[in-house]
Amino acid sequence: MITTISLNPSIDRTVEVERFVQGGLNRVVDAHSVAAGKGINVALAASALGVDAECIGFMYREGARLFEKRLMLNATAYNFVWCEGSVRTNIKVRDRERGEITEINEPGARVGEADLDKMTELVALHAENTDCLVLSGSMPPGCPKDYYRTLLRTVDGLGCRCILDADGERLALGLEAHPYLIKPNRFELETMLGRELRSLADIRDAARTCIDRGASVVAVSLGADGAMIVDGDEALYAPRMAVDVKSTVGAGDTMVAGFACGIIGDSTLEEMLRMGVAAATARCATDVSRVVDRALYSDLLGRVAIERI
């Protein structure tokens, strides 16, 4: 079982314009809304890849139905700490001509101490019956920056391996609780370590710094340049796979789902990298109306090229 934590769910509202004009009039040519948030996305992707998955997190009375419907339609279990207020809306403006996306994200509704206590208890309860716990995404107002560290320490010794996909201070503090795997992108890794990473060797060495600071495995997503995975013994790199890209939205979360599938199957480091890259690539090549094409994922698994760095 894979259990994901969604502390700050969002309704992602995508609007498309022919050419975005900053400070001017923009006419929408297409629009759609979807229940999202990193924890939601990872759980949905894991389910689509054929693994039992569930999502726990904060949920708000206004807007919740969209999430319950999407999770049920995709056979993904859920359990929420219910809060007053409404789910935040994140707006993505897609410029068709340039192929660019401008994002405008709301912070989310505030949670209180009682909500945090309930969430900590819920996470501990589910951690006892899961193989892999995924902590990912932003936090709502009211969440302390060290809350991921708190949750990681809460589940320590309960038998599940944890993935932390966060940025900034949330990632740095979370590392102190020794997650099994972290998944920064290049920019997040550069920001945390305070230096530019110009080569694959630089990225490998930076990842090993994170291992020295508490992680067992570091997977670095490099966007169009592929991905790298590093543990105490090996550093493996997979270049980008050539596919017909339909949407990159959710690719990083689907990569995390692939890694989680590898963890619960006790896969080797190379197998985990193949699963993460194949999952993310399949997401990019899948129509936006679906989570991820499982058959395409299976086909891509054997085509991921691996290099040792």
Please give the positions annotated as active site: 253
Structure tokens at 135: 């902590």
Cβ 220 vs Cβ 256: under 8 Å? no
Cβ 229 vs Cβ 208: under 8 Å? no
Phi, psi of 65 (to 5 degrees): -55, -35
Cβ 137 vs Cβ 8: under 8 Å? yes
Nearest Cα neighbor of 270 from 226, 234, 222, 220 is 234
Angle among Cα 189, 191, 195 to the nearest 5 degrees reads 85
Angle among Cα 102, 105, 111 to the nearest 5 degrees reads 170
Nearest Cα neighbor of 78 from 30, 128, 43, 114 is 43
Give Cβ neighbours of residue 144 (< 8 Å, ≥ 6 apart).
150
3-class DSSP state for residue 195?
Answer: coil
- The H or E element spanning position 204 is helix 200-212
Cβ 191 vs Cβ 210: under 8 Å? no
Distance CA 127, CA 123 (A): 6
Distance CA 24, CA 4 (A): 40
Overall residue count recorded for the chain in this entry: 309
3-class DSSP state for residue 131?
Answer: coil
